[in-house]
Structure 1
Amino acid sequence: MEFIKTTEQDSKYNHLEKMSVSELLTNINNEDKTVPLAVEKAIPAIEKLVSEIVMRMKNGGRLFYIGAGTSGRLGIVDASECPPTFGVPHELVVGLIAGGDSAIRKAVEFAEDDTTQGWKDLQEHNISENDTVVGIAASGTTPYVIGALKECNKHDILTGCITCNHNSPLSNVSQQPIEVIVGSEFVTGSSRMKAGTAQKLVLNMISTAVMIQLGKVKGNKMVDMQLSNHKLVERGVKMIMSELQVPLEVAKELLENHKNVRKAITSYDKENK
């Protein structure tokens, strides 16, 4: 069966340059509204991947995102948010992009076309069979990502993917593929739009669900977050006040002493049993 990229199909809209600003924004927003519904259809596939990741992480495994261009950047964003949000080490969730870190800001020509570099990039992190590698590519055809996942499969490393085309080459080399079919973009082929939004939503779901399953959230609070600015310190104090039913000054002192919301709560509970 011929592989057709829905992400490359013509936009349902034409003569965009003749639209008013209001028309442009309304039409873009109308298209964006369809994305969460497309993601909803993929929840069973996302659940399978999350369950596998959790099982491996409980055995010391790590999570790698690998992509090119917008997809690679989205993976890096999600990975970089895990340490401050959940207090995990930076090496637990790792984002890799074709062309290296310089490609985060500026496109590196033809980097995504290299079929061997993705695996080399993973090897620099001593990738092992406890780890999980999630390839991210809206098109589902990026050679850098496909090549990396093929090698992972050979080395008994769990592979997943996030793509926005059905039955793509990337899905076919992924053990746990996630396909979010968002259809054509408002600007034809501009997969940073709906496809990028879909990928971001799925990444949010994966990392958040994994971290909650690993015990990094208490109730609905980020009790392991890094206290890296005044806003987060203030949030931490409020968490302690709410959880322990203690006044502001007590909560402040607990946080100052323990430098961590979870430790502050646990310590107080032990001392006041």
Structure 2
Amino acid sequence: MAEALIDNQTFKCLICLQECNIPRQLPCFHTFCTGCLNTYINSEYVTEDNRTYFPCPVCESPCYPHNKDAPVSSWAGSFPRNQLFASSTYNETESGQTFCHGCLTDDEENVASFWCKACSEALCQPCRIAHRRSKLLSTHKVIAIAEVSKTDIRMPVSIDNTCPRHTGKKIEVYCHDHNALCCVLCVTLSHRRCTNVNSLEDNTKMFSLDVIECELGKMKDESKTIVEEDENKLTTLEDDYQKMTRNVAMMIKRAIGKLDDLLPTFSNRFRCNIPTSSRTST
């Protein structure tokens, strides 16, 4: 497990393009709202060769449930919660209080009262007691969370570097041909013909911190542009819908007016064609 610290920021679901709500991470590492993912799975899952799966909404990689006998409606909630996303969207209550970071790893939302400077973690009362009783953690400086600036609260994120396809194997290789993170078995079974495969260690040597920050900036700008374009398209579609609705209503109104104008003429002609005897008897 690799660990990193992240600042407060907003991550968006790649389906609804809104702030990620209970984010779930697929084996391909793409993350979506639990609700959005559940709706998507129920409409897009396929059964093939006695295996049921669904393609990732972004990269279309096949995603299989952890329990093949589980109902489709439960698949979304079975995927691990992405703490990198969850830390930004679930580290505070509506009143601005901070949730205990330890409890969040188990999908529990308990308000924190303490802050460990060494761990950079918010702690609730029970977690504070467990923290103090640990031999390894008992010497850490723990203060009241009220004494900590919100800008100083950064959530430690555990990044799982185990292979999602092969139990017990660690991700050690990156395949540039498929843009995929792989373990040794992945390379042996699925990437034997790939020509551009490097170890993660070699890949990290290729990039300096400045280059990474520059690329992250570009990705952020590109993502922002994509979201803005999609939002503009939605606005345009809404405007077009309203315009079409008004036009149809106007056409119906004109048609009704035309029919009302033709009614007297039609009535007069109809009366003129009735025989005199029929009119008299009437």
TM-score, structure 2 normalization = 0.24
Structure richer in helix, relative to its length: 1
Point out which structure has higher relative CO (alpha carbons under 8 A, 6+ apart).
1
Structure richer in strand, relative to its length: 2
Structure with bigger gyration radius: 2
